[in-house]
Amino acid sequence: MVFRSRHSPLIRRYAWAAFGLCLAAILFLSLAPSDATPAPDLGGDKVRHALAYFVLTGLGLFAFGPRLVLLAAIFALGAGVEIAQALMGLGRQGDLIDLLANLSGEVLALMMWLAWGRWGRGR
């Protein structure tokens, strides 16, 4: 299924920039020493993981459209971060449940994107 973005090039450009900033923030917050990063109370660690990857995926979908390579890269990012956390120490630990929370945010963003696209075509 090919789903072409109806968004203007300007919106896609801003989404691309926001995607890059979000990616940088996720990498910093995931790989910096645990005592150097803020941990806002947003309902727990797994909710923060899901929210971060939901936002990252949503921005990626706006910027690039629903491409399999984008979704695979975001999943690989989550897996790579968890592996890096398991190997690096610094108060960090890799966790399979964190990876599942990342994936749940990614899947939710994709489902909402596809539902929004169907709703928009039905109008």
Q: What's the domain range around 42?
A: 9-122
Domain assignment present for 50:
yes
Exposure of 17 in the CB half-sphere (CA atoms within 13 A): 5
Contact criterion met (CB below 8 Å) for 57 and 71 = yes
Maximum CA pair distance of the chain? 52
Q: Highest mean pLDDT range out of 2-6, 36-40, 85-89, 94-98?
A: 94-98
- 67-92 average pLDDT score: 93
Contact criterion met (CB below 8 Å) for 25 and 77 = no
pLDDT of residue 1: 40
Number of domains in the chain: 1
Mean pLDDT of the chain: 87
Domain assignment present for 118:
yes
Domain assignment present for 17:
yes
Listed in sequence order, the residues at least 6 apart from 61 whose beta carbon sits closer than 8 Å to its beta carbon are: 70, 109, 110, 113
